[in-house]
């Protein structure tokens, strides 16, 4: 559930690698353009791409430098800085289960402000992350894979949706709602893993999975999120469109696939209840 604070809480808001971040203003020493050579600050501090520290792609050059008051002092290259804001009265969320312990060590939670979801960095954890990356011993930040189970029997009624060009189905009893992936959708900073991003909805933070990502493919943001309640967990699934509610499903040629009148092809039904139990 979302939490709210009292008093004042100042955070620096910025973006790195396409992901919005927040960090306590007391942890920031300086915000400045990089040196002319683009890889240092004040000629002394090496500038490290925050996007790479968080498991993503190299940052767009030249970007901005955020110098953090940590030990040792760390200068992080980011895309752009939005400024310092009092976020005490904005909704705060804990990270949901399933995003991975390594990422949770660097991100303490998320803040919904300015209509966007900002991941809150644990600044003190970044130097150790940089050191482990340099030594080649850094654990991956992507969410861990889940065992793949397929439904053996067709459900009585199901929601069928399209994701990355393939049809998938979910028993209708598990479907809570279908919503748009609005501006508040926050992509995962790290590459790989089945989670495409995080979505604040109804005072809760939903991990949004990719069906293809659960099967070992690439997770990608899409226009819609199918919200489900599985084994006591809130779980979202990416979708490009919804084909509709179907009944009269019958087995297709491959295991886990079922077809119904009016559908353009068979739909794959992952046994999500078992996968998330």
Q: Delineate the domains of the chain, giving CATH numbers in brackets.
A: 10-135 (no CATH), 157-275 (2.40.50.180)
pLDDT of residue 242: 94
Residue 5 has a pLDDT of 56
The whole-number pLDDT of residue 63 equals 95
The percentage of residues in the chain with a pLDDT greater than 90, rounded to a whole number, is 78
Among 50, 46, 55, 60, smallest CA distance to 21 is for 50
Closest CA to 119 of 139, 103, 142, 100: 103
Q: What is each CA distance from 117 to 12, 103, 216, in whole angstroms?
A: 14, 16, 27
The alpha carbons of the chain give a radius of gyration, in whole angstroms, of 21
Report residues of the chain scoring pLDDT below 50.
none
Cβ count within 10 A of residue 229 = 15
DSSP 59-118: PPSS-EEEEE-SSS-EEEEESEEEEEEE-TTS-EEPPPTTS-HHHHHHEEEEEEETTEEE
pLDDT tens-place string over residues 122-167: 999 999 999 999 999 988 898 888 899 999 999 999 999 999 999 9
Check residue 95 and give its pLDDT.
93
pLDDT at 235: 94
Asked whether 154 and 269 are in contact (CB, 8 A), the reply is yes
The answer to whether the predicted template modeling score (pTM) of the entire model surpasses 0.95 is: no
Q: Which two three-digit tokens encode residue 267? A: 């739909």
pLDDT at 3: 60
């Amino acid at each position: 559930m979302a939490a709210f604070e009292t008093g004042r809480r100042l955070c620096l808001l910025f973006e790195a690698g396409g992901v919005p971040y927040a960090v306590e203003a007391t942890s920031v020493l300086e915000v400045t353009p990089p040196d002319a050579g683009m890889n240092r600050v004040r000629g002394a501090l090496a500038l490290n791409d925050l996007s790479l520290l968080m498991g993503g792609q190299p940052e767009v050059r030249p970007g901005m430098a955020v110098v953090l008051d940590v030990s040792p002092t760390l200068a992080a290259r980011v895309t752009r800085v939005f400024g310092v804001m009092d976020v005490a009265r904005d909704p705060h969320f804990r990270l949901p289960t399933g995003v991975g312990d390594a990422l949770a060590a660097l991100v303490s939670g998320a803040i919904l402000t300015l209509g966007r979801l900002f991941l809150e960095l644990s600044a003190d954890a970044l130097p150790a992350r940089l050191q482990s990356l340099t030594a080649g011993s850094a654990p991956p930040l992507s969410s861990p894979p889940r065992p793949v189970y397929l439904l053996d029997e067709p459900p009585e009624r199901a929601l069928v949706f399209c994701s990355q060009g393939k049809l998938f189905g979910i028993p209708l009893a598990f479907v809570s709602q279908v919503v748009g992936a609005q501006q508040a959708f926050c992509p995962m900073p790290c590459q790989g893993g089945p989670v495409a991003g995080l979505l604040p909805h109804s005072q809760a933070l939903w991990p949004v999975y990719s069906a293809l990502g659960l099967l070992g493919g690439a997770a990608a943001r899409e226009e819609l999120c199918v919200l489900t309640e599985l084994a006591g967990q809130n779980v979202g699934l990416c979708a490009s469109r919804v084909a509709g509610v179907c009944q009269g499903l019958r087995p297709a040629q491959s295991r886990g696939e079922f077809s119904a009148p009016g559908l353009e092809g068979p739909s794959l039904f992952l046994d999500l209840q078992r996968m998330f139990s």
